[in-house]
Chain A
Amino acid sequence: MSEPMRTIFVPRDAAALSVGADAVVAAIRAEAVRRNIPVRIVRNGSRGMLWLEPLVEVVTDAGRIAYGLVTPEDVPALFDAGFLSGAEHPLGHGPTEAIPYFARQERLTFARCGVIDPLSVEDYRAHGGFRGLERALAMTPDEIVAEVTESGLRGRGGAGFPTGVKWKTVQGAVADEKFVCCNADEGDSGTFADRMIMEGDPFCLIEGMTIAAIAVGARQGYVYIRSEYPHAIATMREAIRLAYDERWLGEDIHGTAYSFHLEVRVGAGAYICGEETAMLESIEGKRGMVRAKPPLPALEGLFGKPTVVNNVLSLTSVPVILDKGAACYRDFGVGRSRGTLAFQLAGNIRQGGIVEKAFGITLHELLYDFGGGTLSGRPIRAVQVGGPLGAYLPPALFDLPKDYEAFAEAEAIVGHGGIVVFDDRVDMARQARFAMEFCAAESCGKCTPCRVGSTRGVEVMDKVLAGENVEANLTLLQDLCEVMVDGSLCAMGGMTPVPVRSALRHFPDDFLRTPAAVAAE
């Protein structure tokens, strides 16, 4: 009797590949051939439990069974143990969806990520894909905008601007053409959710952008992806090609009067192009220089036309809102922060990855209940929340609920939900210096407070680090921060002081150096 065909999932996500997923696939194939067992290997996205990658899942009668941290050398033993029928093994974690890290999440945006074959339209459809778009195609643009507004969705790129309000502005603008641009220039350290969903569920982004286009009356869209993400670029391009083939993109989408064309544009290593107006300049083929606002991109955006600029996670949240309704989405969250956010646990963390939860969860829960503390096993000393322009927070603030307003009150930002963990060996004065150094390297140079202020900031911090006139130099640093906050054109210069000041406020001892102490180091 021949063996039944077995289905095995091994992610194609870049993070999984970075720790050897391809080699594991090769080993499984070779071992299956050797044992004469027919296997079908599906290259899915990542489930987001990145500390378990490469995570191999086997389809059994009891659902998908997970085996984590698999190396090619483990593969023969897994076969011996009977992993194809979900048998126990030291690397086994039981049913994937029962793993506490996963089971305790509220997956709306990432519902399909890691579950399906990212480049199968059929699989996407089978898991609820394109249902939101189908509903949108039967609605008026006004109704779509109202639905998104009702849901309470706010921009997931960091600024938290209500998505529905932005769409309404573009919809109301009169012009011969309009655009939808997706900002996939995910340059902030500690963030990888955009990359993961583009690699794991690319049709979801296509669907979200198409819904946006219908709502505002755009016929052309661009996904601007950073060049550091070759896997996401390739996956998005292939998904767009498949969507055209199946008439989810192009002229007269599925026989309706709506048309939408979508193209990937690749960045070129400039962090500032994550700022929306710099991104528009870059798509136009220019230097990524920030534009003064107003005019808002919603009125004068790409090529001077009304343009929706949304982050990947804002747009990938749209299909589920249209599919399940605004009320369903709004039911998650607290206060004026509705829905879920894909928190990203990064840096020195034992269980790093994606945690999609409703707003209101505390940092403590994220860092310890999900993250399991530091990877180094040492105490957490600081976390940086919301990217390189986000605040450094000490453990005393870990009980702050994660919502936009509570964080704003603490002079911190939720941003895109990226959280970078540092243990007790971190030198916060050096982190403050780095914030200035990063700004100096990545400033577009248009406004003086950012361009010159950041360079002066590095110089001042070098003096502080050397223990030179520390008190006077810290006063100067505070002055400099004030100028940057008040005088910069965009968030690059305007928010670089956030990590600097928070480091100084919460970790003052790291800054109070004396020349003698520095010399003794």
Chain B
Amino acid sequence: MHARSPWNPDRAASIIDAHRRLRGNLLPILHALQEEFGCIDEEAVPLLARDLNLSRAEVHGVVSFYHEFRRTRPGRHTVKVCRAEACQSMDAEALIDHVRRRLKVDFGGTTADGAFTLESVFCLGNCALAPAVMVDETLHGRVDARRFDAILSAEAGR
């Protein structure tokens, strides 16, 4: 389940402050901001630039470079489906078709009820038990259509 705290510049400033002593602290700060607010809010960019003595372009460049950092709030849960080679060999394509139909969204989309955001990922490190899916931080192996539906029902209930 993702944090849903609304953007709060004071809270953001204190998160930045907590990381001040770390060297190369931009990524740890971005992770912490995303954990708190569910995404990297537009307003975070100028705040970070000012506080870390960077240009807005530099901050924006880092945020946009990494797939993990989101600019918009995700659904309550994130579903990541692996589409790398080991999962391909176990017919991840069929699973992905099923997932898309079932959630009625494509990769990057959020279900109409705001419950799930669907993302693709290249490798979850569960390649001997493919296909692999990660829901929030819970990893699932040997996922087929039936198992996926069961996982989804369990998560939707939370």
Contacts and interface: CB of A to CB of B under 8 A. Distances in A.
Interface of A: 14-15, 17-19, 50-51, 53, 186-192, 195, 227-231, 263, 265-271, 282-288, 303, 344-349, 352-353, 375, 384, 388, 418, 420-423, 426, 431, 434, 438, 441-442, 444
B113 interface: no
Given A288-B66, A442-B122, A15 B89 contact: no
24 contacts: A15-B128, A18-B140, A18-B141, A189-B86, A189-B122, A263-B22, A265-B27, A266-B31, A270-B65, A270-B66, A270-B68, A283-B24, A283-B27, A285-B62, A286-B24, A286-B26, A286-B58, A287-B62, A287-B65, A288-B65, A288-B66, A347-B85, A352-B128, A442-B122
Given A18-B141, A266-B31, A268-B66, A434 B88 contact: yes
Nearest to A287: B65
A148 to B, nearest CB: 27
A420 B65 contact: no
A348 B92 CA distance: 11
Given A190-B85, A267-B27, A286-B26, 4 more contacts: A14-B125, A18-B139, A53-B129, A270-B67
B84 interface: yes
Nearest to B143: A18
Contact of B68 (A17, A268, A348): A268
A384 B140 contact: no
Contact of B123 (A14, A228, A349, A384): A228
B12 interface: no
Contacts of A375: 90
A51 B84 contact: no
Contacts of A421: 89
A285 B121 contact: no
A228 B124 contact: yes
Contacts of A426: 89
B44 interface: no
Interface stretch (B3-11, B98-106, B130-138): B130-138
Q: Taking each of A191, A270, A286, A384, which has the highest tally of chain B beta carbons within 10 Å of its own beta carbon? A: A286
A191 B68 contact: no
Contacts of B67: 268-270
Nearest to A220: B23
B60 to A, nearest CB: 10
Contacts of B90: 347-348, 375
B27 A191 contact: no
Interface in B65-84: 65-69, 80, 82, 84
Contacts of B61: 287
Interface in B20-67: 22-28, 30-31, 58, 61-62, 65-67
Contact of B84 (A189, A284, A423): A189
B126 interface: yes
Contacts of B62: 285-287
A285 B86 contact: no
B127 A191 contact: yes
B18 to A, nearest CB: 15
A429 to B, nearest CB: 14
A271 B122 contact: yes
A53 B129 CA distance: 9
Contact of B126 (A15, A265, A349, A420): A15
A457 B87 CA distance: 22
Q: Taking each of A192, A423, A442, A444, which has the highest tally of chain B beta carbons within 10 Å of its own beta carbon? A: A192
B68 A227 contact: yes
Contact of B137 (A53, A230, A270): A230
B142 interface: yes
Q: Taking each of B26, B28, B82, B126, which has the highest tally of chain A beta carbons within 10 Å of its own beta carbon? A: B126
Given A189-B84, A285-B62, A345 B128 contact: yes
Given A15-B126, A189-B84, A189-B127, A269 B121 contact: yes
Given A19-B142, A287-B62, A344 B23 contact: no
B88 A344 contact: no
A47 to B, nearest CB: 12
A221 B37 CA distance: 30
Given A192-B128, A421-B89, A438 B122 contact: yes
Contact of A347 (B65, B66, B125, B127): B127
A188 B67 CA distance: 16
Given A346-B130, A352-B128, A420-B86, A15 B27 contact: no
A195 B89 CA distance: 21
**Chain A to chain B: the 3 pairs with minimum beta-carbon distance, closest first:** A352-B128, A285-B26, A189-B84
